[in-house]
Amino acid sequence: MKLRRDPFQAIADPTRRAILVLLAAQTMTAGAIADNFATARPTISKHMQILSECELIEASQQGREIFYQLRADKMKDIDQWLGQFRKIWESRFDQLDNILSNLQTKKDEA
Amino acid sequence: MKLRRDPFQAIADPTRRAILVLLAAQTMTAGAIADNFATARPTISKHMQILSECELIEASQQGREIFYQLRADKMKDIDQWLGQFRKIWESRFDQLDNILSNLQTKKDEA
DNA sequence: TATATTTGTAGCCAAATAGCTACATAATCA
DNA sequence: TGATTATGTAGCTATTTGGCTACAAATATA
């Protein structure tokens, strides 16, 4: 196992996912972000570091505060990987599944 | 840290992502999948287990062979989470970024 | 300037992860 | 039936991970 630091590994952790969701609403300081979690502040700080390394967020210092901002465009990398499968789950095979389960539903209702 | 077994953790590993991509093209036996990797077969077997637990793939035994099939619909879970950010990266803020970089490009070309 | 505030860093730890080899199990084939 | 094939399981290991406490550094405030 070698050290990985890619967006897929970054969003594997639920705390980091929650941080990204927080930052989707607004830019926040390190402290404000940490206040949303029971986890110790240095632990959150480490998460911010990981997210920064993946360029999923961006830090900008203002005085003694550091504001973190989401870089949603980087999430596109994940989105693009998912794209390979999108055509499959939107395909007629899935649609056939839907037809079958609709028929089932109608049978249940009858 | 507690044991997590969700699709986000599942796709964090590059080998597992490669397995999913393989299965996007066609259903394959455990052996055929393992043949695509330098990794030992039992290791791949463990990956299959993890993907199965997350319901990203489905196993069906046929004789002594086990065929694995992608369950693309489960990938929608990840897609839906990403959806929260999609509106951001498609927003006017990103478009503004594009306008600015286009202007920059034009300046460079001039 | 002394104190408080905001944040990161160092160093430690338990648990999880991905990997391996050896072995078990079950289904074909000769 | 005995050998071969396909696959999973057991058990071990090194590395990574997420978490914590204590400390350092830098900026603001009294």
| pLDDT tens column, A44-86 | 999 999 999 999 999 999 999 999 999 998 999 999 999 999 9
Domains identified in chain B, total number: 2
Confidence (pLDDT) at A3: 62
What pLDDT, on a 0 to 100 scale, did the predictor assign at position B107?
44
Instruction: Show the tokens assigned to A10.
Output: 């970054």
Select the residue of B24, B70, B89 nearest A73 (Cβ to Cβ).
Answer: B89
Rounded mean pLDDT, A31-45: 98
DSSP state of A36: T
| A91: confidence class by pLDDT, cuts 50, 70, 90 | confident
Report the gap between the CA of B100 and the closest CA in chain A (Å).
Answer: 15
* The predicted structure's pLDDT at residue A95: 56
Within-domain flag for B91: yes
User: Does B64 score more than 80 pLDDT?
Assistant: yes
Domain of A82 in residue numbering reads as: 72-110
pTM score of the predicted model: 0.84
CATH number for the domain that contains residue A47: 1.10.10.10
> Does B1 fall in a domain?
no
Q: Are B63 and B101 in a shared domain?
A: no
> Is A46's Cβ below 8 Å from some Cβ in B?
no
pLDDT mean across residues, chain B:
86
Show the tokens assigned to B26.
């066609």
Q: What is the percentage of chain A residues whose pLDDT exceeds 70?
A: 80
| Residue B9 predicted with pLDDT over 60 | yes
Same domain, B95 and B65: no
A1, part of any domain: no
- Which residue's alpha carbon is at the shortest distance from the C1' of C25? B64
DSSP B59: E
Instruction: Name the nearest CA neighbour of B31 among B75, B72, B63.
Output: B63
Residue closest to sugar C1' of D10 by CA: B42
Does B97 lie in the same domain as B83?
A: yes
